[in-house]
Chain A
Amino acid sequence: MTEEPIHLETDVLVVGAGGAGMYAAIAAARNGANVLLLDKSLIGRGGATIMAQMTVAVAVGEQTPDHWTHHLADTLNAGRGLCDEELAAILCREGPERIREMDEWRVGWTREDGHMKQVMAPGHEIPRCVFVDFLNTGPAVAKTLRTRVARTDGITKISNLSVTDLVVEDGRVRGAVAFDLNGGRAVTIAAGAVVLAAGGLTRLYQRNSASVNMGGESYALALRAGADLIDMEFVQFFPIGHLAPRLVGMDPIMWDPFRYKLGGRLLNGNQEEFIEKYGASDSGTYTAPRDVTSYAIFKEVEAGRASPNGGAYLSFTHLDEATLREAFGPVINRLACNGIDLTKRPIEVAPIAHYHMGGIRVTPEMATTVPGLYASGEAVGGANGANRLSGNAITEALVFGERAGHFAAQAATNKVWNSSWADDAVGDIETMAPDSGNAPTFGELFGELQNLMWQKVGLLRTGEKLEQALSRIREMQAQDLPRMRPQNKGPFALGVQEWFDLRAALATAETIALTALNRTESRGAHQREDLPDTEESQTHNQCVRLSGGTLTLESVPVRRTEFEKVALGATE
C-alpha cells in the first residue's frame, strides 16, 4: 500500500539552500512572494558555499582603485572567449552591491586600516578579493544568510527534502515532486515559479572537493524538464587540491588561501620548479592561471616526475613559524593536529574537480528556456566561459541568487495543480527492487562512474576515451540503473535517495562526455590531447537538451556585450 503524498503549495519554490538558494529566497520574499526553501541536506549547511575558504572577487575598489569593467575584462580573459558577456557583466556590475549588503548584514569581511582588505588572486589585474579570516569566508557567508532567511517573513524552510523531478505541464513549470528522507515518503509541491539552486557536479569525479549534494542534480532536473544546458564540457580542476598526508576536518582546496597570502613554491617529485615550462610563472607569487597549473601538474606526473603520492609538492619551508601564525593563526594548530608542520616539509597536492563552468542556460533575468523555471549560482552556465576566474563563484552565487529570486517572484503565476501530473514521479520514488538478488549496489556503480569520469572525461581528454566513457554511461543508464532500485524504505532509507543520485549523476555525466567529444579543440578547462590547439572557428557555445529521450546538441554564438574599461584613479 502506498500512502498519499504530502502536498505543499508556494509562490516560489527554491531548490537548494546554499548561498545562491538562500539569497534567492530572501530576494523572492522581498518581492512579495511566499517562498518554500528546500535542501537535500540542512538549510544553509550543505552545498559549496559553506566550504569556501577564502576569496570573493568584487570591484569594491577599497584596497586600490577599481571598476567593475576591469573585473569584467579579467573574467572574460579567463573565460577564453566563451563567456556569456551579458551574464559576466551582471556578475561584475552587481557584485559590489551584494558584497556591501552582506557587509550590512555583518558577515565580517576582514578589514585593514578601516577598509575591506582585498588580496591578489590568479588572473586578476589588481588586488580585488575580499575574505573573512581565518579560512572562514564560506561559513561566515552561510551563517549570515541563514540569519537573514530566518528574519525574513514569508520563507518556509524544509531540510532533508530533495526534489526528484520538476512538473511541467502546458508549457510551464507547475511545481515539483520531492523525496522526504526523514519520513521516507513522497511530497508534491505546486509552485508559481521554481528556482533551481542545487549547485554543481564535482562529486561525479573521483578526486573532488564536493559534498554529497554536488552530484549534478540541478542539471539533471533542468534537462528532464526540457531546459537547455550550456558549456557542459567545461569542468574546472583546481590545481592544488590537498593530496597527502591525510588531512581531516579541512576542505581539500585549503592551500589556495595559503598561496594567496604566502606565495609558496610548487615543485615536482625531483624538487624542481616546473610551471615555467608550461608558459606561466608563479614562484612565490601564485599568479599562474588554474587551467595551466592543473595541466602542468598532470604532465609532470605523466612524465614520471610525480611526488610520492602522485601529485606535486607545495612548499612553504622557506617561511618561519611566526610568519605562518601571523597569516593563519589557529589554522596552524589544526594542521599540527594532522601532523603537518609547514616549516619542516612540503605537503603534496594534485588537481581536484572543483567547479563547473557549464550549467543551465539562462537569460539575464535568470530565466531558463522553460517558462517559470529559473536558475542561480553554480547551477547556471555561461558566465565563466571555458575557465572561471578565481573568486567569482561566491559573487556569482549572491548576484545570480538575488536576481533569480527577484525575477521568479515577479513571474510567479497562480498555482495550478493536478495530482495526476505527479503520478509518474511519485511512482519512481515508490519503486522498489524487484528482488534482493545480485543487483549492482550504489557504491559500486557510483564509484565506477567517478573513476570513469576521472580517467576518461577529466582534465586530459581524447576522442577515444570520451567515446568509451559515453558508451559505458549510456549502458549504465539503460541496464544498471533499473536494477539498482532500493531494497528497503521507511525513515532515512538512503537507498531511495541514492537511486535518484545515480540517475542524476548519469544524466549529467552523459552531457559532459557528449559535449566534450563534440568540441574538437582544446580550450581552457577542456583539454583534448588528440586536438591540442584552440580553433578560432570553435569560438561558440554548445547547448544540449533532452528531446524524446535523446540528447541533442546545438552550437550557438557567444552572447557579446559592448563595454569600455573605465580609467582608474580618477575620482568619481
Chain B
Amino acid sequence: MKTAPISIQRGGGDTPDRTESFEVPYSEGMSVLDALIWIRNNADPSLAFRYSCINANACKECVLKVDGKTDYACTARLDEQGVTIGPLTNKTLIRDLVVDTLPPKERLDSLGR
C-alpha cells in the first residue's frame, strides 16, 4: 500500500509545542483533510482541527497552512511526497491546527455575562 508522510505542527491548550509525523495510506486524488480525518480515526484521536462540510468547500472552516501556504484542507491535494501542516500564524492558537477564527460577534466570551 502506498503511503504519504504528513508532518503536523502541534501544541496549544495544555500540550507542548512539537512536530509529529504520520504515515497515511495514500490514494490518488485524496485531500489533506482526508489525511487529517484518517489520522484522527486511526492513529491519534487527540489531534484537533476544524472542518464541517467535509468536501464541498462551502463552510470554509478548514483553512490552515499547507507547506507554509494558507489553504483549505478540503481542496489541497496530497501527493506521495507528503506535506507539512500547521495552524494559521496570524490568529491565537487554541489547540493543534485550531486557531481562534470565530467572528467577534459569534463568541461566547464576547457576551460578557
Measured CB to CB, the residues of A under 8 A from B are: 6-8, 41-43, 45-46, 50-51, 138-139, 150, 156-161, 180, 182-183, 187, 210-213, 245-252, 338-339, 441-444, 447, 487-488, 490-495
Instruction: Name the B residues within 8 Å of A245 (CB-CB).
Output: 29
- Decide yes or no whether B83 CB sits under 8 A from chain A: no
CB distance from B49 to the nearest CB of A (A): 8
Q: Are the C-beta atoms of B45 and A248 separated by less than 8 Å?
A: no
Instruction: Name the B residues within 8 Å of A156 (CB-CB).
Output: 111
- Decide yes or no whether B1 CB sits under 8 A from chain A: no
- Look across to chain A and name the residue whose beta carbon is closest to the beta carbon of B93: A491
Q: Are the C-beta atoms of A250 and B57 separated by less than 8 Å?
A: yes
Known: A46-B59, A210-B54. A159 touches B13 (CB 8 A): no
Q: Are the C-beta atoms of A51 and B53 separated by less than 8 Å?
A: yes
CB distance from A164 to the nearest CB of B (A): 15
Instruction: Name the B residues within 8 Å of A211 (CB-CB).
Output: 52-54, 56, 58-59
CB distance from B6 to the nearest CB of A (A): 16
Q: Are the C-beta atoms of A251 and B108 separated by less than 8 Å?
A: no
Q: Are the C-beta atoms of A490 and B14 separated by less than 8 Å?
A: yes
- Give the tally of cross-chain contacts (CB within 8 A): 132
Complex interface residues of chain B between 59 and 113 (CB less than 8 A to chain A): 59-61, 72, 74-75, 77, 94-96, 98, 100, 102-103, 105-109, 111, 113
Most buried by A among B27, B54, B109: B54
Q: Are the C-beta atoms of A495 and B46 separated by less than 8 Å?
A: yes
CB distance from A201 to the nearest CB of B (A): 15
- Decide yes or no whether B31 CB sits under 8 A from chain A: yes
User: What is the bound-complex CA distance between A159 and B41, given in angstroms?
Assistant: 25
Main SS class of interface, A: loop
Q: Are the C-beta atoms of A251 and B13 separated by less than 8 Å?
A: no
B13, B41, B53, B100: which contacts A443 (Cβ < 8 A)?
B41
CB distance from B56 to the nearest CB of A (A): 4
Q: Are the C-beta atoms of B52 and A46 separated by less than 8 Å?
A: yes
CB distance from B40 to the nearest CB of A (A): 6
Size bracket, chain B contacts = 35 or more
A158, A442, A493, A495: which contacts B108 (Cβ < 8 A)?
A158
Main SS class of interface, B: loop
User: What is the bound-complex CA distance between A531 and B30, given in angstroms?
Assistant: 40
Known: A42-B52, A182-B94, A491-B94. A246 touches B29 (CB 8 A): yes
Q: Are the C-beta atoms of B12 and A248 separated by less than 8 Å?
A: no
Q: Are the C-beta atoms of B75 and A249 separated by less than 8 Å?
A: yes
Instruction: Name the A residues within 8 Å of B102 (CB-CB).
Output: 42, 159-160, 182
User: What is the bound-complex CA distance between A50 and B48, given in angstroms?
Assistant: 24
- Look across to chain A and name the residue whose beta carbon is closest to the beta carbon of B110: A158
Instruction: Name the A residues within 8 Å of B57 (CB-CB).
Output: 248-250
Q: Are the C-beta atoms of B53 and A50 separated by less than 8 Å?
A: yes
8 A–B contact pairs at CB < 8 A? A8-B113, A45-B59, A138-B58, A211-B54, A249-B75, A250-B56, A338-B29, A492-B98
Instruction: Name the B residues within 8 Å of A249 (CB-CB).
Output: 55-57, 72, 74-75
- Look across to chain A and name the residue whose beta carbon is closest to the beta carbon of B51: A212
Q: Are the C-beta atoms of A248 and B29 separated by less than 8 Å?
A: yes
Q: Are the C-beta atoms of B108 and A183 separated by less than 8 Å?
A: yes
User: 3 closest pairs, A vs B, by CB?
Assistant: A443-B41, A246-B29, A251-B56
Q: Are the C-beta atoms of A443 and B42 separated by less than 8 Å?
A: yes
User: What is the bound-complex CA distance between A247 and B48, given in angstroms?
Assistant: 25
Q: Are the C-beta atoms of B46 and A187 separated by less than 8 Å?
A: no
CB distance from A202 to the nearest CB of B (A): 11
CB distance from A378 to the nearest CB of B (A): 15
Q: Are the C-beta atoms of A212 and B52 separated by less than 8 Å?
A: yes
- Look across to chain B and name the residue whose beta carbon is closest to the beta carbon of A252: B55
Most buried by B among A8, A41, A45, A492: A492
Known: A251-B53, A251-B58; 6 extra A-B contacts, CB below 8 A, are A6-B108, A42-B102, A248-B29, A248-B77, A444-B41, A490-B95
Q: Are the C-beta atoms of B106 and A42 separated by less than 8 Å?
A: yes
Instruction: Name the B residues within 8 Å of A491 (CB-CB).
Output: 12-13, 94-95, 98
Instruction: Name the B residues within 8 Å of A158 (CB-CB).
Output: 106-108, 111
CB distance from A491 to the nearest CB of B (A): 5
- Look across to chain B and name the residue whose beta carbon is closest to the beta carbon of A187: B108
CB distance from B66 to the nearest CB of A (A): 13
Instruction: Name the A residues within 8 Å of B60 (CB-CB).
Output: 45
Most buried by B among A187, A250, A491: A491
- Decide yes or no whether B20 CB sits under 8 A from chain A: no
A43, A51, A246: which contacts B30 (Cβ < 8 A)?
A246
- Look across to chain A and name the residue whose beta carbon is closest to the beta carbon of B38: A443
Most buried by B among A159, A161, A248, A441: A248
Instruction: Name the A residues within 8 Å of B94 (CB-CB).
Output: 182, 491-492
Known: A139-B58, A211-B54, A250-B57. A443 touches B45 (CB 8 A): yes
CB distance from B34 to the nearest CB of A (A): 9
Q: Are the C-beta atoms of A6 and B29 separated by less than 8 Å?
A: no
Instruction: Name the A residues within 8 Å of B74 (CB-CB).
Output: 248-249
- Look across to chain B and name the residue whose beta carbon is closest to the beta carbon of A211: B53
CB distance from B52 to the nearest CB of A (A): 4
B48, B56, B75: which contacts A494 (Cβ < 8 A)?
B48
Instruction: Name the A residues within 8 Å of B105 (CB-CB).
Output: 150, 157
Instruction: Name the B residues within 8 Å of A492 (CB-CB).
Output: 13, 48, 94-96, 98
CB distance from A189 to the nearest CB of B (A): 11
CB distance from A256 to the nearest CB of B (A): 13
Known: A182-B100, A249-B75. A42 touches B59 (CB 8 A): yes
CB distance from B106 to the nearest CB of A (A): 4
